[in-house]
Amino acid sequence: MRTDSSPQTIFRKDYTPPAFLVDTVELGFDLHPERTIVANRITLRQNPASKRRDIVLHGEDIELVQLRMNGQLLGKDDYLLDHATLTIKKAPAQVVLEIETLCAPVQNTTLSGLYVSNGNFFTQCEAEGFRRITFFPDRPDVMAKYTVMLRADKASYPVLLSNGNLIEQGDLDDGRHYAKWEDPFKKPSYLFALVAARLVCQEETFTLADGRDVLLQVWVEEGNLDKTDYAMQSLKNSIRWDEERFNLELDLDRFMIVAVGDFNMGAMENKGLNIFNTKFVLANPRTATDIDYAGIEAVVGHEYFHNWTGNRVTCRDWFQLSLKEGLTVFRDQEFSADMIGTDTGRAVTRIDQVRTLRQAQFPEDAGPMSHPVRPDSFVEINNFYTVTVYEKGAEVVRMYQTLLGRDGFRKGMDLYFKRHDGQAVECDDFRAAMADANGRDLGQFERWYSQAGTPVVTARTRYDAVKRNFDIILSQRCAPSAGQQDKLPFHIPVAVGLLGASGQDLPLTLEGGKHAKGATTIVLELTEQEQIFRFRNVDERPTPSILRDFSAPVVLEYDYTDDELLHLFSHDSDPVNRWEAGQRLAMERLLKLTAQVAAAGGSDANLKLDPTFINAQRAVLTDETLDAAFRELALILPSETIIAEQMDVVDPQAIHTARQFMRRTIGAALKEELIAQYHANQTPGDYSPDALSAGKRALKNLCLSYLMVAPDMAELKLAQQQFEKAGNMTDRSAALVAMIHSGAATGPYLQNFYEDFEGEALVVDKWFAMQAAAPTTNVAAVRQLMAHPAFTLKNPNRARSLIFNFTNANPSQFHAADGSAYDFWAEHVIKLDAINPQVAARLARAMDRWRRYAPALQAKMKQALEKVAARAKLSNDVLEVISKALA
Ligand code: PHE
Ligand code: ZN
């Protein structure tokens, strides 16, 4: 909670090194839910890099009981204490501080610092949670060695965990026990963690590449031990992968994953003690979908990979967050792709990444919270754990690999660790390692870190049949964003191929290029505002395939004809661009149809969909040489959100009507093929989450959803049967979602599903989520669901399942003409803010794009924003989001 009146903006340029460094930290915890005593003994010494002599410790929501300096008790006159800091002026050069504080974990609903979840103790310290546990210079460039003593009631908290190695444990009086942990590596405070809980674990000894044995554990509540196999398998795969791909080995004797039901984010990479949202640990076929399994693999990998990219080498300050997050997302993306192993499998993961960027990052880049990958300022750092820092950050890292090649990228990584192991560094240091290891000048590449906004690359082409030259003229621009009026050209890798008339890749000869003979994809480097690239020896006018594999996070404009797109859609050897051609064909039509619906006052009566498009869809659907997973992606129409981003004035109802019309029309026209593919892509036998099986289920369930847009009795029956006979959650939930979306009477099915899974929190989340996101669910229905006994605002997963899925995934209802859903939004931002500001601020962002809606909606959205802004007691988190939206 904000305790002073005006929130402060913090600027990157104001960075100064810490006045004091910390060498060792000894923490003692006497854990009680209401009253936990923390004894903290730290040794500090003056930082030679700083001239300041004051010790400044952060502290928030904790009570100072006692403070000693070099053994001497300090009185109130010896230090300054306010709501955020404890300052000791003109401290001696070497200091031992002993600080005793009190906190109340059970009252802590923010889930930052030390808190209680389902009767167990957990901590969350990133970004600035450690200061809610004890007074400390809580900044990532202060790295120290930690020893931790935990004491708690043995019956209630039989398991006591912290970072590093367990060095001692035993019983105490009064039924309490203790455990002492020591982390051999120095670390920033944000990586500290403890768990005191009633939990059980799946464990295994695992042999590393160098022959060392390590202990791996996955800790969960007792009833969930049947859901830990996949997390454990993913952990082992991650360890192997990092050894093989980057020669990075686990540096501890023990590595633990702990699942907790109340968690603000996905998971946290605390040294040796990763704490996870249950959503990214628990899975069995009955409760988890293919998407859940993929999420577990990715997040387990992500947190594990942080051990090197984040923990061994950490961030100098929070503006550098993407240094660890962008890099680690890239690493987890590569891991997931390598786990599938096939080229199309890899492409399918890439397409998913592109969809995420367009769905969430491009809108962020164009909205009021727009910021560079390395922000220049913030009010609340928690608001900057964004798709820009994470996913665009990963794209920036990927571009190094595209520009330098896999080997060059690996050389850069090796140099990065050689130079910076054990240090807290900046994004620029990573870039320098990449440049120096490869003898490349990557000076201009810096703009990817400093300039916000999505670059637009425009391509024009010309063919000279006599000279057999084909020119691609690329130019770039980037719209202004907050504080950045004019932007300088980016260094953009644009991967290009040329298709001949029969769809084959033409061998490429780039004028002035030094590419392997016979290459069919070449990475053009666009560094100027406009550049001409000339291909020689081109015998026929080719169809250009530009931005293959989505080689840069940009919008590509090129005046493709329908024929060219159809050609690419059926032949491009680059699966990402093949998919992209289909998306362009669909988008063109969706925008036209949307305009027609709007002009017809919302009616879809006179809409038409051309047979060309339908035939192209049919061809992909029935092409069994293509992976099911790819076919599914090729058949999904761009989402309503992505369509909205293409419009100057957004009309959510018209978009929904047009898209539904298109889906209904495709469903009817391809009915026979959809039914055939539905049956051809069954996955009988034991459930397996592997990519091939998951792809089949995805395609089959997409077929079902098309058939269920306007189902007849037989189609309804198909869905009902799938629901009843499903041997896994993927099929069961897909059938139920299809029924809900069709508007068919689903009451008994929903009831049945709920009763079957009442005791499975993550499945109850799904139950809320699928209703919240259905276009048949209006705000009144959401309010009714909130009254359900299983609903609570206090659990972030539950709050997100119902509220966020409504505000973010159900645009036609969220933007109901009467504005009633906006009032609902304002009410819940305010309610959530009193409980958990981080979660509230995420909800607040549902209004980011308010200025783009039709005037009537815009006015109502503004009113709702102002209603929130007018509240006297807002957190900095929400205040920052709302004031930027209104600015
Ligand atoms: N650092 C975590 C991750 O990306 C995310 C996180 C941030 C978790 C802040 C909790 C709090 O892996
Ligand atoms: Zn991360």
Residues facing residue 526 across a β-bridge:
492
Sign of CA dihedral 397, 399, 404, 405: positive
Tell me whether residue 6 is exposed, middle or buried, using C-beta atoms within 10 angstroms of its C-beta: 0 to 12, 13 to 18, 19 or more: exposed
Q: Are 453 and 484 contacting, i.e. CB atoms less than 8 angstroms apart?
A: yes
Q: If you average pLDDT over residues 228-239, what whole number do you get?
A: 99
Q: How far is the CA of 647 from the centre of ligand 2 (A)?
A: 33
Least confident among 508-517, 523-532, 808-817: 508-517
628-645 per-position pLDDT tens digit = 999 999 999 999 999 999
Q: If you average pLDDT over residues 226-243, what whole number do you get?
A: 99
Q: Ligand 1 pocket by C-beta < 6 Å: which residues? A: 124, 126-127, 264-265, 267-269, 302-303, 325, 385
pTM: 0.98
Distances (CA, A) of 782 to 29, 312, 753, 760, 769: 43, 45, 18, 21, 10
Query: Nearest residue CA, atom 5 of ligand 1?
Result: 268
Alpha-carbon gap, residue 549 to 344, rounded angstroms: 11
Task: For residue 5, give the nearest of 874, 882, 868 by alpha carbon.
Answer: 874
Query: Nearest residue CA, atom 8 of ligand 1?
Result: 268
Show the CA angle centred on residue 567, arms to residues 566 and 568, nearest 5°: 90
Alpha-carbon gap, residue 639 to 642, rounded angstroms: 5
Give the model's confidence band at 513: pLDDT under 50 very low, under 70 low, under 90 confident, else very high: confident
Q: Are 603 and 597 contacting, i.e. CB atoms less than 8 angstroms apart?
A: yes
> Whole-angstrom distance between the N-terminal and C-terminal Cα of the chain?
22
Give the model's confidence band at 745: pLDDT under 50 very low, under 70 low, under 90 confident, else very high: confident
Pocket test for ligand 1, best of 128, 268, 329, 331 (most atoms within 8 A of CB): 268
Show the CA angle centred on residue 146, arms to residues 143 and 413, nearest 5°: 45
Alpha-carbon gap, residue 602 to 652, rounded angstroms: 11
Cis, peptide link before residue 501, omega less than 30° from 0: no
Query: Nearest residue CA, atom 11 of ligand 1?
Result: 126
Q: How far is the CA of 431 from the centre of ligand 2 (A)?
A: 19
CA 604 to chain centre: 36
Q: What is the ipTM of this complex?
A: 0.99
Pocket test for ligand 1, best of 115, 269, 302, 305 (most atoms within 8 A of CB): 269
What is the pLDDT, as a whole number, of residue 1? Answer: 41
129-172 per-position pLDDT tens digit = 999 999 999 999 999 999 999 999 999 999 999 999 999 999 99
Ligand nearest to the CA of 330: 2
What is the pLDDT, as a whole number, of residue 517? Answer: 86
Task: For residue 613, give the nearest of 542, 661, 656, 572 by alpha carbon.
Answer: 661
Among residues 98, 303, 640, 880, the one annotated as catalytic is 303
Q: If you average pLDDT over residues 260-268, what whole number do you get?
A: 98
Question: Which residues are CB-neighbours of 520 under 8 A, at least 6 positions away?
Answer: 497, 505, 506, 507, 508, 573
Query: Nearest residue CA, atom 1 of ligand 1?
Result: 268
Give the model's confidence band at 3: pLDDT under 50 very low, under 70 low, under 90 confident, else very high: very low
Ligand nearest to the CA of 266: 1
Let me know if 303 is a catalytic residue.
yes
Q: If you average pLDDT over residues 800-804, what whole number do you get?
A: 98
314-347 per-position pLDDT tens digit = 999 999 999 999 999 999 999 999 999 999 999 9
Q: How far is the CA of 332 from the centre of ligand 1 (A)?
A: 14
Query: Nearest residue CA, atom 7 of ligand 1?
Result: 126
Q: Is the pLDDT of residue 503 over 90?
A: yes
Strand (E) or helix (H) holding 860:
helix 855-869
Q: How far is the CA of 728 from the centre of ligand 2 (A)?
A: 30
Percent of the chain predicted with pLDDT > 90: 98
Query: Nearest residue CA, atom 12 of ligand 1?
Result: 268
Share the mean pLDDT of the chain: 97
Ligand 1 atom showing the smallest separation from residue 306 Cα: 12
Q: How far is the CA of 283 from the centre of ligand 2 (A)?
A: 21
Q: Is the pLDDT of residue 5 over 70?
A: no
711-724 per-position pLDDT tens digit = 999 999 999 999 99
785-798 per-position pLDDT tens digit = 999 999 999 999 99
Locus of tokens 């898209």: 659
Alpha-carbon gap, residue 122 to 177, rounded angstroms: 17
Q: What is the dihedral of CA 114, 376, 372, 310, to 10 degrees?
A: -40
DSSP letter for 135, please.
-
Q: How far is the CA of 138 from the centre of ligand 2 (A)?
A: 19
Question: Which residues are CB-neighbours of 451 under 8 A, at least 6 positions away?
Answer: 372, 478, 484, 487, 488, 490
DSSP letter for 481, please.
B
Distances (CA, A) of 663 to 463, 517, 613, 637, 696: 38, 45, 12, 8, 20
Strand (E) or helix (H) holding 10:
strand 10-11
Inter-axis angle of helices 290-306 and 229-246, to 10 degrees? 50
Ligand nearest to the CA of 274: 1
Q: Is the pLDDT of residue 743 over 80?
A: yes
Ligand 1 atom showing the smallest separation from residue 390 Cα: 4
358-371 per-position pLDDT tens digit = 999 999 999 999 99
Determine the 3-state secondary structure of 799 from DSSP.
Answer: helix
107-124 per-position pLDDT tens digit = 999 999 999 999 999 999
DSSP letter for 357, please.
I
474-495 per-position pLDDT tens digit = 999 999 998 899 999 999 999 9
